[in-house]
Amino acid sequence: MLERGVVANSWRRERWDSLRLLTPNWLTRLPGRAYDGADPDGYMTAAEVAAFIARYATAGRAPVRDHTAVTRVGRIDGGYHIETDGGELHCRAVVLASGACNRAVVPPLSAAVPAAVEQRTPLDYRGPDELPDGRVLVVGASATGVQLAAELRRSGRPVTLAVGEHVRMPRTYRGRDVLWWMHSSGVWDQRYDEIEDLDRARRLASPQLVGAPARATLDLNTLAADGVELVGRLAAVRDGRALFSGGLRSLFSLADLKLARLLDTFDAWAQAAGVEAGPPERFEPTRAPAAPRLNVDLRGGEIRTIVWATGFRPAYEWLDVPVLDAKGRLRHDGGAADAPGLYALGLPVLRRRKSTYIHGIEDDARDVVEHLARHLGGVPSAQQPSYPT
């Protein structure tokens, strides 16, 4: 097991200070080890996640080579040649477990932002105090975007949030954490080969949630009530002006509709399964501002910082195997890459909707390892049975 830093490196060094998991502690588990602390309904901090993973590695005596950065993975007869900054390795199979969040996605239009405006991503943001005084433009309204917008607003800064397509979700529903419903109802267990539009599912933004001890819902209505300015999707930067789309109402209606459908799914399952819970709930529609701004002059000094909460992508610069598509995404079938003996774990909807969550890795890993074992046992890919369900 090769690690470029130390165990849980990204949780130690690439998370903002106040970050907590979106999943409650009782759902934080790895094969053979579950959370056993005194706060099952709480949400781990990044430091606590790092400690949890480190204890897991120690207890399992995982053969980790830390401070070993992979610089190239290439094909050779019978397997793969691995080059690292600490030497070379040869192996018959490789599992890419580097995750989906190695690089922050920053749109090309960022190049047109005036130099006087500081630009950050969630990977190099730690807290409000390190930013210049003045208004912050947060671009993106997934979990990361709404959390950072809320934190920046609490610090006293004026905040503008550029909203694109998003997934609205309450923190609790009918008296239980909403992720209990996702887990118990089986929504998270939906397999990749059962999803009609798999490519879209894999590009879906993370839901608007925050793992706050108060278990409060963080949505656009909450942010607007706290004084965050909502504008449309950042469409362009032209002649020093940020231009926003005018489709906020449509985006809000779509997110509200999808939320209602999800809650209907929970209600139908609860009735069929005889689950005891509070009465069904429906939430206030997202309120659109009367006249959202369509542009702002980035040269005038009002916007001092832009935080690009526009998603993440894997980093495959070191992967010298022809398994990437035109957008640099790994071509794979449920984790089996388009090359014999090459596998992946931890990518969005790799095999199930829960694939990128900590508790979701176990089922995926079992399936991938079974396929890998058959490969090492000499069973040709064409003769291997389909993955188990």
* Residue 244 phi, psi dihedral angles, 5° rounding: -110, 145
293 plus 325 within the same structural domain: no
**Mean pLDDT value across residues 337-365:** 96
Q: Is residue 376 part of a domain?
A: yes
250 plus 327 within the same structural domain: no
- Check: pTM over 0.75? Answer yes or no: yes
For residues 57 and 5, give the distance between their C-alpha atoms in angstroms, rounded to a whole number: 14
Chain CA centroid to CA 47, Å: 18
Which pLDDT does position 382 carry in this prediction?
A: 54
Work out whether strand 312-313 and strand 303-308 pair parallel, antiparallel, or are unpaired: unpaired
268 plus 285 within the same structural domain: yes
Q: Is residue 367 part of a domain?
A: yes
pLDDT in tens, 140-165: 999 999 999 999 999 999 999 999 99
The contacts of residue 61 (CB under 8 Å, 6+ apart) are none
Domain end position, chosen among 283, 311, 339: 311
48 plus 172 within the same structural domain: no
Asked if the model's pLDDT at residue 310 lies above 50, the reply is: yes
Asked if the model's pLDDT at residue 192 lies above 90, the reply is: yes
Q: Residues 349, 353, 359, 363: what is their CA dihedral angle, to the nearest 10 degrees?
A: -70
129 plus 174 within the same structural domain: yes
200 plus 327 within the same structural domain: no
Which pLDDT does position 269 carry in this prediction?
A: 98
150 plus 281 within the same structural domain: yes
Which pLDDT does position 378 carry in this prediction?
A: 82
63 plus 120 within the same structural domain: no
- State how many domains the chain has: 2
For residues 231 and 247, give the distance between their C-alpha atoms in angstroms, rounded to a whole number: 9
Q: Is residue 180 part of a domain?
A: yes
- What value does the mean pLDDT of the chain take? 95
Q: Is residue 1 part of a domain?
A: no
Asked if the model's pLDDT at residue 294 lies above 70, the reply is: yes
**Mean pLDDT value across residues 52-67:** 95
Percent of the chain clearing pLDDT 70 (strictly above): 97
Which pLDDT does position 218 carry in this prediction?
A: 97
Domain end position, chosen among 282, 311, 340: 311
Which pLDDT does position 388 carry in this prediction?
A: 47
Asked if the model's pLDDT at residue 383 lies above 80, the reply is: no
Q: Note down the domain range covering 173.
A: 105-311
pLDDT in tens, 210-260: 999 999 999 999 999 999 999 999 999 999 999 999 999 999 999 999 999
Percent of the chain clearing pLDDT 90 (strictly above): 95
pLDDT in tens, 276-290: 999 999 999 999 999
Asked if the model's pLDDT at residue 175 lies above 60, the reply is: yes
232 plus 266 within the same structural domain: yes
29 plus 39 within the same structural domain: yes
335 plus 304 within the same structural domain: no
Q: Is residue 188 part of a domain?
A: yes
Q: Is residue 139 part of a domain?
A: yes
Among left, alpha and beta (phi > 0; psi -120 to 50; other), residue 291 is beta
138 plus 195 within the same structural domain: yes
Asked if the model's pLDDT at residue 386 lies above 60, the reply is: no
Which pLDDT does position 380 carry in this prediction?
A: 64
Q: Which of 14-18, 109-113, 382-386 has the lowest mean pLDDT?
A: 382-386
